[in-house]
Amino acid sequence: MAAGFALHPQLAADTVPVADFALSTVLLMDEPAWPWLVLVPRRESLREIIDLAAPERALLIEEIARASTVLQSLFAPDKLNVGALGNMVPQLHVHVIARNIGDPAWPSPVWGAKARERYQPADLQDLVRRLRGAFA
């Protein structure tokens, strides 16, 4: 954990940690409509991708690729959505989301598309275990 880094409380409340990459902590969004990961670079006071130095940006895109590959291998989605928005939660974070034709927001973006739900505890536990295994 880099000095001064703290996960934004909203991200902490909405997610469960599943992996620590070299730069980013990988979180699972607790929303059963989509397999949805969030990467948060462990650096203080970041808002934009361009707040990272170039070597860290190179790391970030490889970590996005690694998260994407795991979602593809576990869920075989029709499409991946990758986005760094931060309009609501200012801490730099990158969404990597498995999308399927006919999913609850398709073909729109997932953000704000539906009322928030949460996994059943046993389903969440099982999914976290599978993701941690895939990232190990």
Residues binding a copy of itself (CB under 8 A): 47-50, 54, 57-58, 60-62, 64-65, 68-69, 72, 79-88, 99, 106-109, 111-112
**Shortest gap between Cβ of 123 and a copy of itself (angstroms)?**
25
Which C-beta is closer to a copy of itself: that of 78 or that of 126?
A: 78
**Shortest gap between Cβ of 79 and a copy of itself (angstroms)?**
6
CA distances 9 to 13, 45, 46, 63, 89, Å, are 6, 14, 15, 23, 9
Which C-beta is closer to a copy of itself: that of 44 or that of 111?
A: 111
Which C-beta is closer to a copy of itself: that of 50 or that of 125?
A: 50
Copy the structure tokens of residue 128. Answer: 């976290």
- Please tell me whether residue 69 adopts helix, strand or coil conformation: helix
**Shortest gap between Cβ of 121 and a copy of itself (angstroms)?**
30
Q: Which sign, positive or negative, has the C-alpha torsion 117, 113, 84, 44?
A: negative
* Beta carbons of 52 and 61 less than 8 angstroms apart: no
Which C-beta is closer to a copy of itself: that of 6 or that of 113?
A: 113
**How far is it, in rounded angstroms, from Cα 125 to Cα 68?**
21
